[in-house]
Amino acid sequence: MLFRNLDAITILLTIPAVLWAISFHEFCHAFAAKMVGDPTAERFGRLTLNPLSHFDPIGALLLLFVGFGWAKPVPINTRYFRHPRRDIFIVSIAGVAGNMLTAALCVLILRFFGGAIFSLAGEHGITMIGQMFRINLFLAAFNLIPIPPLDGSKIIYSFLPFSALKYYYWLEQYGMLILIVMIMTGATRLILSPILSVLIGILRLLE
């Protein structure tokens, strides 16, 4: 994986990227929920960029050393949604969109200001922005895996016919267990590869 065998300095430079990636991801969920009428996340103090409000130790460590992980899920109450399927899609895709926006900004910064950053901060400055790009890209891709409780499963839920929802609810009961097994066996890489290819293709439009 991309994040193995990092030296101590690179790990230190990656920590801000991890904190930003998980905080902005969850903030985007909370903000989108508020925009479609659900104040639950805001009431629980999740409409914030403060990493402490979103921090999950295991998920953050996995994100730092493996390249994908998670934060504490943002609470939502679908009873507030005026158009439940549409609004679930909006809230679910918001976190991924936030990470992709950050990755896109990193690409633009390196493209237009890479030389200036290298002159001011040397290789460490370039490394920090590069890790910010990689962490956000991988977090976006990981969350698009269509297994509960990840965002990808909720995005698919928004388009499932009602006759198929019972299978989704069954999978939801065992989603976390399935996800852990996939991470431990390396099966997530098989799903991540095509997702990453699509996301990188989107970012290449900035070139």
pLDDT in tens, 161-190: 888 888 888 888 898 889 888 888 888 888
| 108-118 pLDDT per residue, tens | 999 999 999 98
Residues 95 and 28 sit within 8 Å (Cβ to Cβ): yes
Residue 94 located in a structural domain: yes
Residue 168 located in a structural domain: yes
> Vertex 145, ends 58 and 128: CA angle to 5°?
55
What span, in angstroms and rounded, lies between the C-alpha atoms of 116 and 38?
43
How many distinct structural domains can be found in the chain? 1
With a pLDDT cut of 90, the percent of the chain lying above it is: 57
The residues, ordered by sequence, that sit 6+ positions from 29 with a Cβ below 8 Å of its Cβ are 41, 46, 74, 76, 91, 92, 94, 95
Does residue 207 carry a catalytic annotation?
no
| 76-95 pLDDT per residue, tens | 999 999 999 999 999 999 99
More confident residue, 48 or 2: 48
Count of residues making up the chain? 207
Residues 24 and 100 sit within 8 Å (Cβ to Cβ): no
List the domain range (segments joined by +) for residue 99. 8-206
Q: Give me the pLDDT at residue 39, please.
A: 97
Residue 1 located in a structural domain: no
Residue 139 located in a structural domain: yes
Q: Mean pLDDT for the chain? A: 89
Predicted confidence (pLDDT) at residue 1 exceeds the cutoff of 50: no
Residue 48 located in a structural domain: yes
Residue 3 located in a structural domain: no
Predicted confidence (pLDDT) at residue 97 exceeds the cutoff of 70: yes
Type of residue found at 187: A
Q: Quick one: CA dihedral 53, 2, 7, 126, positive or negative? A: negative
| 15-38 pLDDT per residue, tens | 899 889 999 999 999 999 999 999
Residue 118 located in a structural domain: yes
Predicted confidence (pLDDT) at residue 146 exceeds the cutoff of 50: yes
What span, in angstroms and rounded, lies between the C-alpha atoms of 23 and 128?
17
What span, in angstroms and rounded, lies between the C-alpha atoms of 11 and 125?
13
Helical packing angle, 8-35 and 57-65, nearest 10°: 130
The model carries a pTM of 0.88
Q: Give me the pLDDT at residue 5, please.
A: 56
Q: Which of 26, 42, 123, 172 is catalytic?
A: 26
Backbone angles phi, psi at 66, to 5 degrees: -110, -30
Q: Quick one: CA dihedral 144, 147, 150, 151, positive or negative? A: positive
The residues, ordered by sequence, that sit 6+ positions from 45 with a Cβ below 8 Å of its Cβ are 53
Q: Give me the pLDDT at residue 196, please.
A: 95
| SS3 (DSSP) at 49 | coil
Residue 96 located in a structural domain: yes
Type of residue found at 117: I
| Rg from Cα positions in the chain | 17
